[in-house]
């Protein structure tokens, strides 16, 4: 568990950098914004890679329904344990949003087993759970459950945002927990609680020492882990969440120094080398760097670059297709591309009509 960072003077400002406090510091830490409505409201982000009892990566993948079903039980049990602690610690309202994006159009949580005191965040239109919910006065604290370490940390399913992607802001490689913290730090709301494996604990120990953390398993590789006994770990989830809630005013809101230097670093299966010779793009060693005015602009730019980096996934797809279809795959694919080009140029092709999906609600990442 990460030690609790004691309360500081109200509205104190701390400036941190790797070399100490100076004007070049990458971020500032601030006391939480004042509670303006008298209701202590907490938002939980859930992921699915850092769950109690979990050691199989397929338990967080919708593409493997049998194992994913097991993962949903892990997730719901962990969220319920944390919810119980937050309410015991003084929370008046607890909401939860999907920060995972399994591909399931329905929530990853088993709603019929979810603590009935919890409200699931839903919207009629799609939204980015990391940045589109960040409104001043909406929440007083953030908790994250079932999280994972950052790309390169060697944790269970460690990554940032998606496969082979590393977010670096103001020179700091980030976990998704820190992405959430910097987003909410824009309006003075701190992350107070987190759970996941031992590698994420190490990732957060330096930048977020006030966070009350529960290590639910020890990572032995990106695809294996030694989980703690479920009842023992969940009891600690509850007691630690309660402590985090009682001490939430001692947590710090994290805000990036502006302007923000943003870098997207790609590792296999992602690849950014296609941008190496594009004029005006600062590319080097699978990294693209740009300057943004603020966190949101930096985040949007990084997400845009993710689309380019995902071009590297095509190499894996080609390998699989060759194995499944045989040597005919590449000529068939080449002909399909060629025919599409000729049909468009000849006016024979039109965008396929896609039947509209039935009315739905969005609960976070899908």
pLDDT over 60 (residue 15)? no
Q: What is the CATH number of domain 13-256?
A: 3.40.50.10780
Q: Which tokens is 156 given?
A: 């269970």
pLDDT value at position 18? 36
What are the pLDDT digits (tens) for 79-95? 999 999 999 999 999 99
> Mean pLDDT across the stretch 122-148?
95
Cβ atoms of 42 and 140 within 8 Å: the answer is: yes
Task: Give the contacts of 180 (CB within 8 A, at least 6 positions apart).
Answer: 45, 99, 130, 142, 144, 191
Interaxial angle between packed helices 295-309 and 176-185, expressed in degrees from 0 to 180 and rounded to the nearest 10: 150
pLDDT value at position 235? 98
Give burial (CB, 10 Å; 0-12/13-18/19+) of 162: middle
> Mean pLDDT across the stretch 348-361?
78
Q: What is the share, in percent, of the chain residues with pLDDT greater than 90?
A: 77
pLDDT value at position 22? 40
pLDDT over 60 (residue 339)? yes
Res. 117 pLDDT band, cuts 50 70 90: very high
Interaxial angle between packed helices 65-88 and 230-246, expressed in degrees from 0 to 180 and rounded to the nearest 10: 40
Res. 13 pLDDT band, cuts 50 70 90: very low
Q: Which residue has the higher pLDDT, 50 or 24?
A: 50
pLDDT value at position 316? 84
> Mean pLDDT across the stretch 189-193?
98
Phi, psi of 323 (to 5 degrees): -70, -40
> Mean pLDDT across the stretch 223-251?
97
Res. 317 pLDDT band, cuts 50 70 90: confident
pLDDT value at position 358? 67
How many angstroms separate the most distant Cα atoms in the chain?
A: 71
CA torsion, points 18, 21, 24, 29, in degrees to nearest 10?
90
pLDDT value at position 196? 98
Q: Find the range with the poorest average confidence among 21-35, 231-245, 263-277.
A: 21-35
Task: Give the contacts of 306 (CB within 8 A, at least 6 positions apart).
Answer: 161, 162, 165, 264, 270
pLDDT over 60 (residue 8)? no
Q: How far apart, in whole angstroms, are the C-alpha atoms of residue 161 and residue 253? A: 21
Cβ atoms of 334 and 328 within 8 Å: the answer is: no
pLDDT over 70 (residue 3)? no
Residue 269: asked if its preceding bond is cis (omega within 30°), the reply is yes
- Domain coordinates in residue numbering, the chain: 13-256
Q: Name 226's bridge partners.
A: 218
Q: Which residue has the higher pLDDT, 360 or 164?
A: 164
> Mean pLDDT across the stretch 295-314?
94
Average pLDDT over the chain reads: 90
Q: How far apart, in whole angstroms, are the C-alpha atoms of residue 321 and residue 303? A: 27
pLDDT value at position 332? 86
pLDDT value at position 274? 93
Q: Find the range with the poorest average confidence among 23-27, 234-238, 306-310, 353-357.
A: 353-357
Cβ atoms of 253 and 188 within 8 Å: the answer is: yes
pLDDT value at position 325? 79
Is 0.85 topped by the overall pTM? yes
């Amino acid at each position: 568990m990460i030690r609790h960072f004691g309360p500081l003077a109200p509205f104190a400002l701390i400036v941190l950098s790797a070399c100490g406090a100076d004007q070049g510091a990458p971020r500032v830490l601030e006391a939480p914004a004042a509670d303006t409505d008298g209701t202590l409201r907490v938002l939980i982000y859930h992921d699915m890679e850092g769950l109690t009892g979990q050691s199989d990566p397929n338990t967080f993948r919708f593409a493997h329904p049998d194992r994913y079903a097991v993962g949903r039980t892990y997730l719901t049990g962990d969220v319920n344990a944390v919810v119980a602690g937050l309410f015991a610690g003084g929370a008046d309202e607890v909401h939860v949003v999907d920060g995972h994006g399994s591909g399931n159009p329905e929530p990853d949580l088993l709603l019929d087993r979810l603590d009935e005191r919890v409200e699931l965040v839903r919207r009629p239109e799609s939204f980015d759970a990391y940045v589109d919910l960040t409104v001043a006065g909406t929440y007083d604290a953030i908790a994250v459950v079932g999280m994972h370490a950052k790309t390169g940390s060697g944790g269970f399913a460690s990554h940032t945002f998606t496969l082979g992607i590393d977010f670096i802001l103001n020179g700091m490689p980030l976990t998704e927990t820190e992405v959430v913290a910097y987003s909410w730090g824009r309006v003075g709301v701190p992350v107070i609680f987190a759970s996941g494996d031992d590698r994420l604990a190490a990732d957060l120990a330096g930048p977020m020492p006030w966070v009350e953390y529960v290590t639910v398993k020890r990572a032995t590789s990106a695809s294996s882990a030694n989980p703690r006994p479920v009842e023992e770990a969940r009891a600690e989830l509850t007691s630690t969440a309660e402590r985090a809630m009682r001490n939430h005013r001692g947590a710090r809101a994290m805000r990036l120094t502006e302007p923000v230097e943003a870098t997207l670093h790609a590792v296999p299966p992602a690849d950014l080398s296609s941008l190496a010779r594009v004029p005006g793009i600062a590319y080097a060693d699978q990294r693209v760097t740009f300057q943004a005015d603020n966190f949101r602009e930096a985040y949007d730019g990084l997400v845009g670059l993710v689309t380019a980096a995902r071009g590297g996934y095509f190499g894996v797809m080609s390998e699989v297709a060759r194995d499944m279809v045989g040597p005919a795959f590449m000529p068939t694919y080449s002909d399909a591309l060629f025919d599409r080009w000729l049909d468009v140029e000849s006016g024979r092709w039109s965008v396929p009509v896609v039947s509209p999906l039935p009315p739905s609600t969005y609960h976070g990442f899908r």
